[in-house]
Structure 1
């Protein structure tokens, strides 16, 4: 989100980048279409490994090789069906056909590798979990029926009367796998409820953040209409997040105009709320000639009686009041990132030893007389990140400012640097040119 305001009466423009739900949804859909293939790959690999191991290992019996390899073929057929679903996501609606095939494939594998003596029945737990993880209580019944089909398939292929002990064993196996299906289904249901709740809360939070961003943008000056013709202002604010803690402002005063740039410690909605409060308190001093009065009133308005240092709720601020004749009274509340660029290219720092709002207790103004062509430039510390972010960043920034005489060049240049890549902190610039 970028906000700019210029030195003409042209309304400010900003861009609010909407969240693209298409990308994440498309990604989730892509993953869902590939999920059956991933699951079936595991089942097919185990069935093939079981058949090959039984064939090559003498202590694992093969009682019916054709049926065993038929089971392998069915598992590989299920893999082919899953691959089709991955290629055409619309076919994934019939996903449960694949684990249904697996129940038969595992039943044939079990029958061909010793029937009741087969060691491979445990593979059936995979399609059981696969089906039971789908929403709906009916998906507890489906794997239960599938398990029954796997266990009773030998009696269909070779009708015999099972022994009582065999019936008890089969019944116990059905109960165990049925319980597995029930537990899996319930866990999946609870996870789905938690996910839906989290998504709903996220949508609400995103809506609140978007509204907060629009409110914050509405607080930035729309144009320079009302400012004296001797003063030309230009500003830009590029938050690192949707809502930032930086702000700039200007408004006419009885003798000229007042200009402010503030940087609230932190980011997000909380910082944006404090920025809005500081801006309003500073504006309430429109009739006060002393720039320091605005900072003192902002500090008094934000005082909570607790330690703002501990809560990290403090604001650095540069506030300047410039008369029509170029006489400027300014106060620097722990900001230290304001420059005066003279018309001849000389650069001077407008800095004092005062502490930020929320930390300091007293501030006093300093005076400077502007000459025609002079430009006051104030930036947030996020701008220094664009110049390396190290100890020499301020020197590089001052040299960069010295090469540009017009506020438009300064603002456009910093905007271009900010848009070249991600910036970890808010980037804000305020330029005031004195051109009588």
Structure 2
């Protein structure tokens, strides 16, 4: 008896999306500041190049604002690479208010057409978490509008400018409040979605553990004349394929390979149910009775449990004298490799579980050293997935006399890249009648 090769553990979680999300969060401030900088520098350049349409009242202040925006752009680039600097991200939009105020002062103050740029740092700050992010943009807006009083002391502040200040602060304040509330609700929804995802991942992970625990690990307990190996490499954490082997009361062994249509937890639940009912029939000498019991056990009345997800399955019993009694429910992917050379597929016209009924078993004699190899259709995908893949698979089997090597090589092929379907194989070699 040989031990089955180790099965690949598929984790329910994937760190890839988390890493990508972190990278996006790190570079978002740079993208925001790039837009603000482009608008401020573009406004200064347009005012310089189009004096007939745009006013320049203080070129020094105007270009100082543009230069400050460029400096802030460089600072955000450093923040994207430094966690320590990223902690003071809010300073960038706050200083943008100053840059916009300088631009406004240099392009006509109240007559400037560039005040609308101020909405960008307002949204930037308000979109964060916390109600204080509504008040901060208002302070920045006031700074932008009152900056001329600092740059030109003694200047009379007209009443119209006061009205403008009130209207702008109220308008942008309302915008900040709306953005902040939407951000808060989005954060709550995201938190709830993440919590649900963690619960679902934990459940899938537990289901994968349970499914793996139901698969036999080695041939302990089987007759010494029988060698067995098997593996299942699921396409997801939980697969729809299953395999099983166990000793039978007559001193022989039984083995099963099934493939439930579909993948994921639903298919895994049906696979576990089918496996359990078939194994419970180990005392019946006719393996076809196991399929009849399974079909009856999964029937729910008006709608069968497996009617939407039928199961193809192969089930065989090997007695001590080398007699193989088998039944195939629409599977058709089991072959006998002869020790003398060559192999042949075990063909059956029966339909899958959940579709057909009235299965009957067939008897095939094994010679010492003959092997029975059954696989799921995911194995054929490793050999092209076309009609010729059956021939390539058969040649692959014929070239490997040892079942351990066969299963190990199939596992290596399956783990070489992504799989669209579960890959499962079980191989049994009968070595001859055991001695009493």
TM-score (norm 1): 0.94
* Equivalent residue, structure 2, for 1:182: 177
Correspondence for 1:349: 345
Q: Secondary structure at the match of 1:87?
A: coil
Is 1:87 matched up with 2:81? yes
Gap change, CA 1:16 and 1:399, over 3 Å in 2? closer
Is 2:160 the partner of 1:170?
A: no
Alignment check: 8 A CA contact 2:4 2:229 kept: no
Provide the rounded CA distance (Å) in 2 between the counterparts of 1:21 and 1:308: 35
Please tell me whether the aligned partners of residues 247 and 253 of structure 2 are also in contact (alpha carbons under 8 angstroms). yes
Deviation, structure 1 residue 147? 0.6
CA distance in structure 1 between the partners assigned to 2:169 and 2:97 by the alignment: 13
Within 2, Cα distance between the matches of 1:310 and 1:51? 70
User: Does 2:187 match 1:199?
Assistant: no
> Structure 1 175/311 Cα, relative in aligned 2: closer, same or farther at 3 Å?
farther
1:156 deviation in Å? Answer: 2.9
SS for the counterpart of 1:129 is: helix
5 Å-filtered alignment, 1:44-63, equals 44-57=37-50, 58-63=52-57
Q: For residues 381-420 of structure 1, what are the structure 2 equivalents within 5 Å? A: 381-420=377-416
Equivalent residues of 2:335, 2:345 under 8 A apart: yes
1:9-408 matches, cutoff 5 A? 10=3, 13-18=6-11, 23-57=16-50, 58-158=52-152, 159-255=154-250, 256-307=252-303, 312-408=308-404
Asked if 2 retains the 8 angstrom alpha-carbon contact of 1:308 and 1:314, the reply is no
Distance in 1 (alpha carbons) for counterparts of 2:113 and 2:264: 59
State the distance in 2 between where 1:309 and 1:273 align: 11
Q: Is the 8 A contact 1:245 1:275 kept in 2?
A: yes
Question: Unpaired segments of 5 or more residues in structure 1?
Answer: 1-6
**8 Å Cα contact 2:307/2:355 also seen in 1:** no
Aligned 8 A contact 2:287 2:327 in 1? yes
Moved more, 353-362 or 70-79: 70-79
Once residues 423 and 30 of structure 1 are traced to their aligned partners in structure 2, the CA distance between those partners, rounded to angstroms, is 28
Deviation at 1:14, TM superposition (A): 3.5
Deviation at 1:62, TM superposition (A): 0.4
User: Do 1:125 and 1:177's aligned partners in 2 also have CA atoms closer than 8 Å?
Assistant: yes
- Residue 264 of structure 1 contacts residue 316 of structure 1 at CA under 8 Å; is this kept in 2? yes
CA displacement 1:147-196 (0-9 Å, x = unmatched): 11111112332343433333222211111111111111111111111111
Q: Deviation digits for residues 365-423 of structure 1, max 9, x if unmatched? A: 01101111110010000000001001111121112212222211211221121122111
Normalising by the residue count of structure 2, what TM-score does the alignment of the two structures yield? Answer: 0.94
Matched, 1:435 2:428: no
1:318 touches 1:330 (CA, 8 Å); kept in 2? yes
**Residues 18-68 of structure 1: CA deviation (Å, up to 9, x unaligned):** 466655444433332222222111111111111111011022110111111
Report the 3-state secondary structure (helix = DSSP H, G, I; strand = E; otherwise coil) of the residue aligned with 1:321.
Answer: strand
Name the CA distance, whole Å, in 1 between partners of 2:126 and 2:255. Answer: 65
Q: How many residue pairs were aligned? A: 429
Distance 2:268 2:145 in 1: 65
Greater alpha carbon shift after TM alignment, 334-343 vs 413-422: 413-422
Deviation, 1:301, is 0.8
Report the Cα offset of residue 306 of structure 1.
4.1
CA 1:243–1:347: 2 relative to 1, 3 Å: same
Deviation, structure 1 residue 12? 6.7
RMSD, aligned CA: 1.7
1:251-285 Cα offsets, whole Å, 9 max, x none, are 11122111100001111111111111111101111
SS in 1 for 2:327: strand
Look up the SS of the partner of 1:162 in the other structure.
coil
Kindly tell me: are residues 270 and 399 of structure 1, through their superposed partners in 2, closer, same or farther at Cα, counting changes over 3 Å? same
